[in-house]
Structure 1
Amino acid sequence: MLNDFRLRVTPSLKRATSLPLALTFAAALGGCASTAVTTEPQPEDPWEGFNRKVFAFNDVLDRYALRPVAQGYHTITPDPVEDSVGNFFSNLGEVRTVLNSLLQGKGENASRATSRLLINTTAGVGGLFDVATRMDIQQQEEDFGQTLAAWGWTDSRYLVLPLLGPSTLRDTTGLPANMAAYPLTYVDDDATRIPLRVLQLIDGRAGFLDQEDLIQGDRYRFLRDAYLQSRAFKINDGELGDDPFASDNFEFDDADFSDENAAD
């Protein structure tokens, strides 16, 4: 049942979810029990023609540039090092989660994210090690797109951005605030900031190389539906809705099991 569904977020998936490229379907795999690829036009994607052209551009860029680099990085980098790199960038994102949790009135999650930031920055050696998760202080990311949804902008049109990949009008509106809330933005030294950004991009792309085989059918629609379901899952804080089969409050009487009903 959906309510019983749980997915263990591996370090590779954790890295992938921080990368907003055209192939970032891995985020959805961490938030949805299943993803149905539909063939009918979707009302949330009225600009599908434009979006497909941008998607094709991003896909070519990924196929001939980013993906080969990510494969090389994944091949030569030991898994513990890859995990530490992903942990470092994820730890920086806790600042954004704290701010957005406060804006949404989620004091408990703001406290949890603050604890994660302090623990991983200190005991985790600058965020290289996710000590907080080992202490069962789980991560629940929040961004400004989710904050806008919490403030009432629940439905938004799907939009594919050049280089950045899948988004919505709501999430795109939140991008400047997301950048402003990310500590790496304030590193003045280009010789430090640019290599870190490149490393973040490559490491994030490498994080879902193993998940690409899960794409089925129309790549554009698969990734679109996966992204939209992932965002809905995060906005609703993981709520999948009521599962009638998960309830124990069924009431039956003898008539339900009569031969007459069985014949029906």
Structure 2
Amino acid sequence: MERKTQSRKMPLRAVTFAVIAAVLAGCGGKPPAPGEIWDPYEAQNRRVHALNTKIDSLALRRASLPGPVGRAASNAANNLGLPAAVVNSLLQAEGEHAVRNSLRFVINSTIGLAGVFDPAGAMGVQEASTDFGATLARWGWGEGAYVELPVLGPSTERDALGRVVDLVIDPLNFTLRGTEAQVAAGVKMAGRIGDRQRYGDTIDSVLYDSADSYAQTRLYYLQSRRHELGQTAAEDSYDPYEDPYHE
């Protein structure tokens, strides 16, 4: 049994390291200048974007959860992401953020009934949102080229690598097993539906009301991400309802 368990783990590790190596190799190219959009994979990205838009129109856009259920699902999904945020806060030497995220996770996982409710927010304990992509940025890594990932959506080479590493370092991946892991996956999916409803107007504007939804999605993601990481000048602020490709 032990040999079987090890043999099952090895392919996952091999795939993880292969993805990391591929992204590291890709990040070795010309980095974008500040404020620049670097998209050497545009042809492939547009094909993936067409697929993602179709998935959104056929599934996520049509999915519907009652308002309170959608909010509860989003709350619970965000709560499941807090342990990984704690790890990244420590990697960024942000001790205060690590303590805040830990306290928020404990409060919402207990009093908030596994994160369905947000008593921590009512107490003023707000999330310090972060991920391994942000950790890499703190360590001085450039964002690399823009990429659009199947199902997951817009990203950069740095953030794509961050997504992989977040799966590896997330403490919940080592503690949740069997039915618990399946429930957690279901909660995250429901949370995504809840977020789609919450930001539906903005998403619809970008995907369905713009002259070039791919270019609009790319611009919106890069500007939002750079602003989140403190890498966008005030004059570069972006209005998602302003379509620069509209004639």
TM-score, normalised via structure 1 length: 0.66
Shift of 1:183: 5.1
1:225 maps to 219
Given that 1:104 and 1:150 are in contact with CA atoms closer than 8 Å, whether structure 2 keeps it comes out as yes
TM-score, normalised via structure 2 length: 0.70
Shift of 1:82: 2.1
Q: Does 1:214 align with 2:205?
A: yes
Give the SS at the match of 2:61: helix
Give the SS at the match of 1:208: helix
Given that 2:76 and 2:187 are in contact with CA atoms closer than 8 Å, whether structure 1 keeps it comes out as no
The 5 A counterparts of 1:109-148 are 109-148=97-136
Aligned-residue identity in percent: 37
Q: Deviations over 1:43-97 (max 9, x none)?
A: 42121111001111122222223432x23xx2xx3x2222222111111111111
Aligned alpha-carbon RMSD (Å)? 2.2
1: distance between equivalents of 2:79 and 2:191? 14
2:146 maps to 158
Q: Call closer, same or farther: CA 1:96–1:58 in 2, change over 3 Å.
A: same
Amino acid at match of 1:235: L
Amino acid at match of 1:83: R
1: distance between equivalents of 2:182 and 2:109? 22
Given that 2:70 and 2:190 are in contact with CA atoms closer than 8 Å, whether structure 1 keeps it comes out as no
Shift of 1:197: 2.0
2: distance between equivalents of 1:84 and 1:233? 27
1: distance between equivalents of 2:161 and 2:185? 21
Amino acid at match of 1:171: D
Q: Deviations over 1:148-194 (max 9, x none)?
A: 111111332100112221111111111222113445534321x4533
Give the number of the structure whose residues are more often helix, by fraction. 2
Give the SS at the match of 1:207: helix
The 5 A counterparts of 1:63-74 are 63-68=57-62, 70-71=63-64, 74=65
1:35 maps to none
The 5 A counterparts of 1:1-264 are 43-68=37-62, 70-71=63-64, 74=65, 77=66, 79-182=67-170, 185-186=173-174, 187-189=176-178, 191-194=179-182, 196-209=184-197, 210-211=200-201, 212-215=203-206, 216-236=210-230, 241=233
Count of aligned pairs: 193
1: distance between equivalents of 2:111 and 2:187? 23
Give the SS at the match of 2:117: coil
Structure 1 unaligned blocks of 5 or more? 1-41, 244-264
Amino acid at match of 1:86: S
2: distance between equivalents of 1:81 and 1:108? 31
Shift of 1:217: 3.0
Structure with the larger RCO, 1 or 2 (CA within 8 Å, 6+ apart) = 1
Given that 1:92 and 1:183 are in contact with CA atoms closer than 8 Å, whether structure 2 keeps it comes out as no
Structure 2 unaligned blocks of 5 or more? 1-35, 236-247
